[in-house]
């Protein structure tokens, strides 16, 4: 059994690159998680995890991360990504991610709707929500990314 994460933050960033992978890497760097090895996880924030917007990871660390992203190489296209964390009274939280061809506001609204649905389905009450969202107008090859990195 893994230890419970001690800290997390929400982040969103967009970037350009020569290729889709470079754009993704540059968005990770802009989101402050580019020098770690992110491990994609699903959408539950473990009990007792504290929000720390200034969290810094040692380079090369393995960092469990819930994230959504979109890349595009169509100049002029608008892309967006959002992530949200809903915190419950019951102890744990729910993380939702979204990315698509839309505005930042539309991506954020979608994530907030997804959090409400997830909590309703579980019969839980949301007491706090943290959301990060970004949009990007593609110049050549771009990426919009939103993430919740967890630190154990």
Question: What positions carry a catalytic annotation?
Answer: 37, 42-43, 97
Strand partners, 64: 39
Burial of residue 12, with CB atoms counted within 10 A of its CB: 0-12 exposed, 13-18 middle, 19 or more buried:
buried
Is 13 in contact with 79 (CB distance < 8 Å)?
Answer: no
Query: Which residues are CB-neighbours of 102 under 8 A, at least 6 positions away?
Result: 78, 79, 80, 110, 135
């Amino acid at each position: 059994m893994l230890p419970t994460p001690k800290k997390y933050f929400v982040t969103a960033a967009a970037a350009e690159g020569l290729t889709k992978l470079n754009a993704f890497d540059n968005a990770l760097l802009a989101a402050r998680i580019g020098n770690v090895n992110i491990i994609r996880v699903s959408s539950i924030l473990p009990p007792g995890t504290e929000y720390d917007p200034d969290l810094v990871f040692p380079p090369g660390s393995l960092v469990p991360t819930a994230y959504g992203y979109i890349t595009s190489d169509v100049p002029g296209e608008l892309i967006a990504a959002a992530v949200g964390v809903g915190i419950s009274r019951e102890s744990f939280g729910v993380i939702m991610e979204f990315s698509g061809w839309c505005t930042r506001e539309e991506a954020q609204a979608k994530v907030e709707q997804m959090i409400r649905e997830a909590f309703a389905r579980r019969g839980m009450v949301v007491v706090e929500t943290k959301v990060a969202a970004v949009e990007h107008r593609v110049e050549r090859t771009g990426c919009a990314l939103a993430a919740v990195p967890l630190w154990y």
